[in-house]
Amino acid sequence: MNKTFGLMAIGFALVFGAGCAKKVPPVSGASGMTSDSGDASDGGGSSSDSMSSDSGMGSSDDVTSMNQDSPNSGMSDDSSSGASNGMGSAMTGDPLDFANTVYFDYDKAEVRSDAKTVLSENARWLAINPNIKIQIEGHGDERGTNEYNLALGERRARSILRYLVNLGINESRFSFISYGEERGVCMDPNEDCYQKNRRVHFLVNE
Amino acid sequence: MLKWCTAFLLWVLILGVAPVSASEVFLEMSRFGFRKIPIAVLSFQDLAKNKEAVRTLEAVLRADLDRSHIFDLIETKAVGFIPNPPSGAPGTAEMTKASQAGVLALVWAKLVANGDEWVLESYVYETAKKEEVISVRIFGSEKSLRKIAHRFSDILTLHFTGEKGVAQTRVAYVSDQSGSKEIYVMDYDGASPMQVTRDRSIVLSPRWSSRGDKLVYTSYRNGNPHLYVLDMKTGKKKSLVSFPGLNFSASWSPVEDRIAFATTKDGNAEIYTIKSDGSDLKRLTFDKSDDLSPSWSSSGKQIAFTSDRGGTPQIYIMDADGANVHRLTFEGNYNTSPTWSPKGDWIAYACRNQDRRLKICADRADGTASIAMTESGAWDDESPSWGLNGREIVFTSNRLGKSQIFSIHLDGKNLRRLTSSQANETSPSWSLR
């Protein structure tokens, strides 16, 4: 477990670095999604949390500090494009790029049209990187009850998994988990924040 | 009206030898506006020479009675006479005056210390009869003062209603105060919170066993959400269900050692039951939509649950073997987290309004009535759990900012806040003993 997460952490750090180096300017018109810090915690926060739960505090601290060093801007592309513009992020097929987060409508697990664009890019990237395995994490916003949101999060994860498999990616490369509303990346009680949390996030396993 | 009520109440009290019918009548009345029992707590006699202890006992007992929704706590200065400590025991003259002042019962006690053992010699007087009706010695120690007072409160509740009180029960809940969600247990009034899991992960949905000695809950401690059972006496925990996918929303049968839960191992959430030793797994639902959050009826013969088989999440009821599924809720497009009253008559659940906000609703289990227990507002009320009296619930609300645990009665009155931390306190489960 430790080793996997360690590799993953390095992967994230590299990814963030790469994202910065060949940075595409953030999409304008993503008004309301201010939040470099919120977006940063999308990748950094949730990955470090899951590490703290499984591998103890030591490795969690390491990872956190690595993420703090990495720039936020790589993530802000990810989130704002998926959430509000339906536009894909800079997708180069570079092996160091990673699968982008996709977003959902309230109470829904259906793949949105903006998500389809992102998922096509993710599938291309997965095709180019055949050894990478992905954990698909389903999340919900804070509204609704915890237990129902767990089920909803899993429906979201499964619907994305099905979509990627239909795009030709081997199912054995995926695992999935639902965190319901337990791992929000944004805590304010407003729609911008709710939208950021209604997501499927991809975790690179190796 | 007052006289009629008083006469009626006396009739109930006199027929205390047949408590079942009497208390049922009384409680039905109390639900719909029947006058609470006017009661006064006289200053206790301090034979332990510990004023602080006596103050605590009196304060906890008064708070219990006030919280109960059964008693109308009358201030000492309004009892119709001037209490005369230290001997303090009311005589015939005092009881007559109290009766004239509308006080039906007087409560008094003496605290005695025999070394480390403390005894509260507790007395209750009914003023109309001019009689001492309860005389009981409650044993404890300096450390268990609150428990002694809670015990006295439950004795009063049992005497005047024929029902067990809730004052000695506990509430398990989830708090993120340590930085991750863990289970805590506190007294029913919010006192003495204690952390009982240290998984440093996500821990969700604790539910008490019917005996109140174990908790079943979901934890991500091994990465995937699995079910665990924690024995509160030994502190030992064991894994109960660890299928691939979600294993969650467990609920203990009130009549047998069996746990209902939901798992997504079949591709979507389905409800199963299993014995608490992990044997005898049975599948109850077979539906392509999600079925989750089971809650047993008091008889153990039926289970209420959430299902979105009709397109939106609604409350359904089935037999404990999965047969005879029927829908309970039809109002609104989001009704989840049912919890069946230990008395069997009501099912409380989280219901969503047009502003996408949750409040607590309750339906009669036979579908003949539906009420809102909490008011709508720019906040969410969720996770209801009944007290053993079937007349009040604990629930989570973020009406004051962070999520905290509150209690409220079935009639929507007597809202109380139980937790007041800077953290999020959620998902309460109220023990039945």
What's the pLDDT tens digit per position in A143-183? 999 999 999 999 999 999 999 999 999 999 999 999 999 99
Confidence of residue B83 (pLDDT cuts 50, 70, 90): confident
More confident residue, B121 or B13: B121
Integer distance in angstroms from the first to the last C-alpha of chain A?
11
Question: Which residues does chain A have within 8 Å of residue B332's beta carbon, measured at their own beta carbons?
Answer: none
Query: What superfamily in CATH does domain A2-24+34-204 come from?
Result: OmpA-like domain (3.30.1330.60)
Question: Which residues does chain A have within 8 Å of residue B202's beta carbon, measured at their own beta carbons?
Answer: 53, 179, 182-183
pLDDT tens, B242-299?
999 999 999 999 999 999 999 999 999 999 999 999 999 999 999 999 999 999 999 9
Question: Which residues does chain A have within 8 Å of residue B248's beta carbon, measured at their own beta carbons?
Answer: 147, 150
Classify burial at B425, counting beta carbons within 10 Å of its beta carbon; exposed 0-12, middle 13-18, buried 19 or more: buried
Confidence of residue B153 (pLDDT cuts 50, 70, 90): very high
DSSP-assigned states of every residue in B99-127:
HHTT--EEEEEEEEEETTEEEEEEEEEET
Confidence of residue A68 (pLDDT cuts 50, 70, 90): very low
Confidence of residue A78 (pLDDT cuts 50, 70, 90): very low
| Mean pLDDT of all residues in B342-359 | 95
Nearest-CA distance A14 → chain B (Å): 25
| Mean pLDDT of all residues in B203-207 | 98
Q: Which CATH fold would you assign to the domain B2-161?
A: Rossmann fold (3.40.50)
Integer distance in angstroms from the first to the last C-alpha of chain B?
36
- Name residue A14's amino acid: L
Classify burial at B192, counting beta carbons within 10 Å of its beta carbon; exposed 0-12, middle 13-18, buried 19 or more: exposed
Whole-complex ipTM: 0.89
Residue-level pLDDT at B35: 80
Distance CA A109, CA A164 (A): 14
Residue-level pLDDT at B87: 65
Of A53, A56, A147, the CB nearest to B180: A53
Q: Do B336 and A155 touch (CB under 8 A)?
A: no
Q: Do A177 and B267 touch (CB under 8 A)?
A: no
| Mean pLDDT of all residues in A57-83 | 33
- Tell me which residue of B178, B185, B235, B233 sits closest to B206, measured CA to CA: B185
In chain A, what are the domain boundaries? 2-24+34-204
Nearest-CA distance A140 → chain B (Å): 14
Task: Check CB contact of A179 with chain B, cutoff 8 Å.
Answer: yes
The proportion of chain B whose per-residue pLDDT surpasses 70, expressed as a percent, equals 91
Question: Which residues does chain B have within 8 Å of residue A146's beta carbon, measured at their own beta carbons?
Answer: 204-205, 382-383, 426-427
- Name residue B395's amino acid: F
Confidence of residue A77 (pLDDT cuts 50, 70, 90): very low
A25 has pLDDT over 60: no
Q: Do B269 and A151 touch (CB under 8 A)?
A: yes
Q: Do A53 and B199 touch (CB under 8 A)?
A: yes
Task: Check CB contact of B380 with chain A, cutoff 8 Å.
Answer: yes
Say if residues A135 and A203 touch (Cβ distance below 8 Å). yes
- How far, in Å, are A29, B31, B36, B172, B274 from residue B415 at the CA level? 45, 15, 16, 19, 36
More confident residue, B81 or B408: B408
Distance CA B144, CA B6 (A): 36
Residue in this structure with the two tokens 């480390």, named with its chain if needed: B116
Of A143, A154, A183, the CB nearest to B264: A154
Confidence of residue A121 (pLDDT cuts 50, 70, 90): very high
Residue-level pLDDT at B84: 67
- Phi/psi for B170 (5° steps) reads -130, 160
Say if residues A15 and A22 touch (Cβ distance below 8 Å). no
Residue-level pLDDT at B86: 55
Q: Are strands B425-430 and A134-139 parallel, antiparallel or unpaired?
A: unpaired
B164 has pLDDT over 50: yes
- The mean pLDDT value of chain A amounts to 67
A51 has pLDDT over 60: no
In chain B, what are the domain boundaries? 2-161, 170-430
Residue-level pLDDT at A163: 98
Q: Do A148 and B292 touch (CB under 8 A)?
A: yes
Q: CA-based angle B120:B165:B78, to the nearest 5? A: 65
Q: Do A146 and B267 touch (CB under 8 A)?
A: no
Question: Which residues does chain A have within 8 Å of residue B356's beta carbon, measured at their own beta carbons?
Answer: 106, 143
Task: Check CB contact of B220 with chain A, cutoff 8 Å.
Answer: yes
The proportion of chain B whose per-residue pLDDT surpasses 90, expressed as a percent, equals 86
Confidence of residue B85 (pLDDT cuts 50, 70, 90): low
For the record, the structure tokens of B338 come out as: 């049912």
Task: Check CB contact of B339 with chain A, cutoff 8 Å.
Answer: no
Residue-level pLDDT at B81: 83
B17 has pLDDT over 50: no
Task: Check CB contact of A143 with chain B, cutoff 8 Å.
Answer: yes
Residue-level pLDDT at A48: 33
Of B181, B225, B306, the CB nearest to A148: B306
Nearest-CA distance A81 → chain B (Å): 26
Question: Which residues does chain A have within 8 Å of residue B358's beta carbon, measured at their own beta carbons?
Answer: 143-145
Nearest-CA distance B336 → chain A (Å): 7
Q: Do A177 and B224 touch (CB under 8 A)?
A: yes
For the record, the structure tokens of B140 come out as: 């404890």
Q: Which CATH fold would you assign to the domain B170-430?
A: Neuraminidase (2.120.10)
Confidence of residue A29 (pLDDT cuts 50, 70, 90): very low
Sequence-ordered alpha helix ranges (H) in B32-78: 51-68
Q: Do A178 and B225 touch (CB under 8 A)?
A: yes
| Mean pLDDT of all residues in B292-310 | 98
- Name residue A32's amino acid: G
- The mean pLDDT value of chain B amounts to 91
Nearest-CA distance B182 → chain A (Å): 12
Q: Do A145 and B222 touch (CB under 8 A)?
A: no
Q: Do A154 and B337 touch (CB under 8 A)?
A: no
Question: Which residues does chain A have within 8 Å of residue B354's beta carbon, measured at their own beta carbons?
Answer: none
Question: Which residues does chain B have within 8 Å of residue A50's beta carbon, measured at their own beta carbons?
Answer: 223
Nearest-CA distance B293 → chain A (Å): 7
pLDDT tens, B356-382?
999 999 999 999 999 999 999 999 999
Confidence of residue B78 (pLDDT cuts 50, 70, 90): confident
Q: Where are the beta strands (DSSP E) in B223-364?
A: 224-231, 237-241, 247-252, 258-263, 270-275, 282-283, 291-296, 302-307, 314-319, 326-327, 335-340, 346-352, 358-364
